[in-house]
Amino acid sequence: MAALRLQNLRKSFGGLPAISDVSLEVAPGERRLIIGPNGAGKTTLFNLVTGDLPRDAGNVVLFEKDVTHLAPHHRVHRGLARTYQIITLFPKDTLEHNIALSLLGLSKLRWNAFRSFDADLYVEARAVLARVGLEHLAKRGIAEVAYGDKRRVEIAMALAQKPRVLLLDEPLAGLSREERATVKQLIAGIPREVTVVMIEHDMDTALDMAERITVLHYGRVIVEGTRAEVVADPKTREVYLGH
Amino acid sequence: MKLLGFLILLAFFPLFAGEFYINLASQIFIFAIFAASINLLLGYGGLATLGHASYLGVAAYTSALLGLKLGLGHWIAAPAALLGTTLMACLFGLIALRATGLGYRWVALTDGDNGLRGLSRPFHLDDAASFYYFALAATAASLWLMARFVGSPFGAALRGTRDQPRRMSALGHNVWLIRWITFVYAGFWGAVSGLLFVYYHKYIHPISLSLTNSAEGLLAVIAGGSGTLGGPVVGAAIVMLLKNYVSAYIERWNTLLGLVFVLIVVFMPEGVVPGVKRLWLRFASRT
């Protein structure tokens, strides 16, 4: 059984193909890295998986359930969580409130319009922040914390939902060397029951984080395999080095 | 404590104020409910509306027509007007939310430029003071229920959809449904203000459904401070004072309203309530 299966996924923008017949299969618990140069269609692929963008053709299957026709929020309830390449948090709110909104997304409590916002959610939110080493900043506003901390909040929001499949869109982008090490450690510590699919632009920084790697170029899968296989493949060199 | 003190002050207000001011206060209460219901959409949901007066007008007209044409009492006419208007909000919500981002509006639905006269108030609230207490109680209950709404988990989700709708969707929230429920809830409170409006005036005219009326409500929310609980109340007071008091001296009171609005936007772009709070905190930190 695959955790995530994409079947002949296609997406064009005004006649320009962004994703062309992409098929891939990610096993439960696997760490999959999707790499490719700028404009390869990596984020578009994620948006098709989450339903943020409607696909032109193809299917998205999550744990053998076809979710192609489900709205994005329904896919989240099936165990799919994601982070964004461009940090997308609630800047006016505290770190703990950001996490609480994430917890609320899967709770029936979100429909309750007549009771006070539950303090228990903040307790749970602080526990999630503790997992990413940010509990001490729980009451700080998002605008007050460093960029690297915001990246960790992004990941914490996704982890708070106890996902079965986690999509990380360039989680190391814009981080200093120290911050990268911290975030890589955080990703490495994600439990094995969570399948992780990660996009990274820079091949060297992320290769050691994955078991299998998919190389995307102009919206097509050109190479797929283990780290050694992908590095040895001449097509990878052609895409990254131009020869 | 401050709120309790303010309510006590309002409770004693008819004892020392003249009839003109008691009536003016009643109108402020009614308009405050209307503005607060717009604030649910604009301030907490990020949804600008230019059609909200329709709820006020339709509820007022429904109640008036049921009373005048069918001879129904307030006990039947009022709930029927609220139910009918809320159902209308359910339907309009389905249409309006398809156009989110462009703003939404609809044209006035009524004809009959002469309006409807000869209406009565419930519970024989015919003197200014007794209607004042009725309006005060209705306003306090309405604002409390709206405050509960925005302070609830649903309210937190609503604010989330205002700030980051795409992210909220990615967190499992049904953004469309959250907005639609808020649209209907705001429509209900718009209807409540419409009922109070027709009870107060004992008269209803198509102008109550007009774009101008919606715009005045919107102006009250922005001037008072959108996304705050006290903002629409203060904004409603500013608009009603200018409309009723200043218009006795200046014919073009709308120009003055515009000027006041510009001054607020220049000096307190976040609105009077948050603006005064900000200035007070600055002052307190210096002393």
Q: Is the dihedral of CA B166, B169, B173, B176 positive or negative?
A: positive
pLDDT at B18: 87
Residues of B in contact with A77 (CB under 8 A): 172
Contacts of A93 in chain B (CB under 8 A): 163
Q: Which residue did the predictor score with more confidence, B35 or B255? A: B35
Query: Could you give the percent of chain B with pLDDT greater than 90?
Result: 40
Mark yes or no for CB contact A104/B156 under 8 Å: yes
CA–CA gap between residue A157 and residue A84 (Å, rounded): 11
Using the Cβ of B143 and the Cβ atoms of chain A, whether some distance falls under 8 Å is answered with no
Whether residue A107 and residue B173 make contact (CB cut-off 8 A), yes or no, is no
Residues in chain B with CB shorter than 8 Å from the CB of A121 are 153
How many angstroms away from the CA of A240 is the closest CA of chain B?
32
What is the structure's pLDDT at B217? 87
pLDDT band at B114 (very low <50, low <70, confident <90, very high): low
Task: Say which residue, B275 or B108, is predicted with more confidence.
Answer: B275
What letter does residue A114 receive in the DSSP assignment?
Answer: S
Task: Tell me, yes or no, if A109 comes closer than 8 A to chain B by beta carbon.
Answer: yes
Q: Pick the range with the lowest mean pLDDT from A128-142, B67-81, B112-126.
A: B112-126
- pLDDT band for position B112 (50/70/90)? low
Q: Which residues of A touch B156 (CB under 8 A)?
A: 97, 100-101, 104, 117
DSSP string covering chain B: -HHHHHHHHHHHHHHHS-HHHHHHHHHHHHHHHHHHHHHIIIIIT---BS-THHHHHHHHHHHHHHHHTS---HHHHHHHHHHHHHHHHHHHHHHHGGGTTT-B--------TT-B-----GGG--SHHHHHHHHHHHHHHHHHHHHHHHTSHHHHHHHHHHH-HHHHHHTT--HHHHHHHHHHHHHHHHHHHHHHHHHHHS-B-GGGGSHHHHHHHHHHHHHH-TTSSSHHHHHHHHHHHHHHTGGGT-S-HHHHHHHHHHHHHHH-TT-HHHHHHHHHHHHHHH-
The Cα–Cα gap between A169 and A151 comes to 11
Instruction: Supply the pLDDT for residue A102.
Output: 96
> For A46, which residue in chain B has the nearest alpha carbon?
B170
How confident is the model over A145-160, as pLDDT tens digits? 999 999 999 999 999 9
Q: How far is A98 from chain B (nearest CA, A)?
A: 9
B134-183 per-position pLDDT tens digit: 999 999 999 999 999 999 999 999 999 999 999 999 999 999 999 999 99
At A242, the pLDDT band (50, 70, 90 cuts) reads low
In the chain, the amino acid numbered A243 is H
A115–B156 CB contact, under 8 Å: no
Query: How many whole angstroms separate alpha carbon A18 and alpha carbon B161?
Result: 28
- How high is the pLDDT of residue B113? 61
pLDDT at B235: 93
The answer to whether B155 contacts A52, with C-beta atoms less than 8 Å apart, is no
pLDDT in tens, A77-112: 999 999 998 889 999 999 999 999 999 999 998 999
Contact residues for A206 (Cβ-Cβ < 8 A; gap 6+): A33, A35, A172, A198, A200
Q: Which of chain A's residues have a Cβ under 8 Å away from the Cβ of B157?
A: 101, 104-105, 110
Q: What residues of chain A lie within 8 A of the CB of B173, using their CB?
A: 73, 101, 104-105, 110
Residue A153: the pLDDT is 95
Domain boundaries of chain B, sorted by first residue = 2-286
- pLDDT tens-digit map of A33-60: 999 888 889 999 999 999 999 999 999 9
Return d(Cα B42, Cα B232) in angstroms, integer. 11
What is the average pLDDT score of chain A? Answer: 91
Characterize A185-201 residue by residue with b for buried, 16 or more Cβ atoms within 10 angstroms of its Cβ, and e for exposed: ebbeebeeebbbbbbbb
Instruction: Supply the pLDDT for residue B99.
Output: 56
Is the predicted pLDDT of residue B118 greater than 80, yes or no? Answer: no
Find chain B residues with C-beta within 8 A of A102's C-beta: 171
Q: How confident is the model at residue A231 (pLDDT cuts 50, 70, 90)?
A: confident
Cβ–Cβ below 8 Å for A117 and B157: no
Q: Is the Cβ pair B152, A117 closer than 8 Å?
A: yes
Q: Rounded to a whole number, what is the distance in Å from the CA of A112 to chain B's nearest CA?
A: 6
User: CB distance A107–B153 less than 8 Å?
Assistant: yes
Which of A63 and B126 is assigned the larger pLDDT? A63
Please indicate whether, in this complex, the C-beta atoms of A82 and B170 are within 8 angstroms of each other: yes
Interval B23-57: pLDDT, tens: 999 999 999 999 999 999 999 999 888 888 888 98
- pLDDT value for B100: 53
B175 close contact with A: CB closer than 8 A: yes
Res B65 pLDDT > 60: yes
Mean pLDDT to the nearest integer, A16-20:
91
Tell whether the model's pLDDT for residue B88 goes beyond 80: yes
Contact B166 A52 (CB under 8 A): yes
- Window 177-196 of B: residues touching A by CB (8 A cutoff) are 181, 185
Q: Is the pLDDT of residue B3 over 90?
A: no
- For residue A243, the model assigns a pLDDT of 57
pLDDT at residue number B106: 39
pLDDT at B104 over 60: no
The structural domains of chain A, ordered by start, are: 4-91+150-241 (3.40.50.300)
Q: How confident is the model at residue B101 (pLDDT cuts 50, 70, 90)?
A: very low
Cβ of A104 under 8 Å from any chain B Cβ?
yes
Tell whether B141 lies on the interface with A, counting CB pairs under 8 A. Answer: no
Least confident of A123-137, A152-166, A226-240: A226-240
Would you call A190 helix, strand, or coil by DSSP?
A: coil
Domain spanning B2-286: which CATH class is it, in words? Answer: mainly alpha
- Residue B280 reports pLDDT greater than 80: yes
pLDDT over threshold 90, residue A177:
no
pLDDT at B103 over 60: no
Enumerate the residues of chain B whose CB falls inside 8 A of the CB of residue A97.
Answer: 156
CB of B149 within 8 Å of a chain A CB? The answer is yes
Asked whether residue B265 carries a pLDDT value surpassing 90, the answer given is no
Size of interface A-B (CB pairs under 8 A): 94
Q: What percent of chain A has pLDDT over 70?
A: 98
Best mutation site among A90, A96, A128 for testing chain B: the one with the most B CBs within 10 Å?
A90
The percent of residues in chain B predicted with pLDDT above 70, rounded, is 93
Q: How many CB atoms lie within 10 A of CB A177?
A: 7
**Which of B265, B217, B233 lies closest to B146 in space, CA to CA?**
B233
In chain B, which residue's Cα lies nearest the Cα of A167? Answer: B170
User: Chain B partners of A70 at a C-beta cutoff of 8 Å?
Assistant: none
User: Do A103 and A124 meet the contact criterion of CB atoms below 8 Å apart?
Assistant: yes
Give the span between the Cα atoms of A37 and B270, in whole angstroms. Answer: 43
Q: Is some CB atom of chain B closer than 8 A to the CB atom of A118?
A: yes
Q: List chain B residues with CB under 8 Å of A72.
A: 169-170
Query: In this predicted model, what pLDDT tens digit does every residue of B179-206 receive, in sequence order?
Result: 999 999 999 999 999 999 988 888 777 7
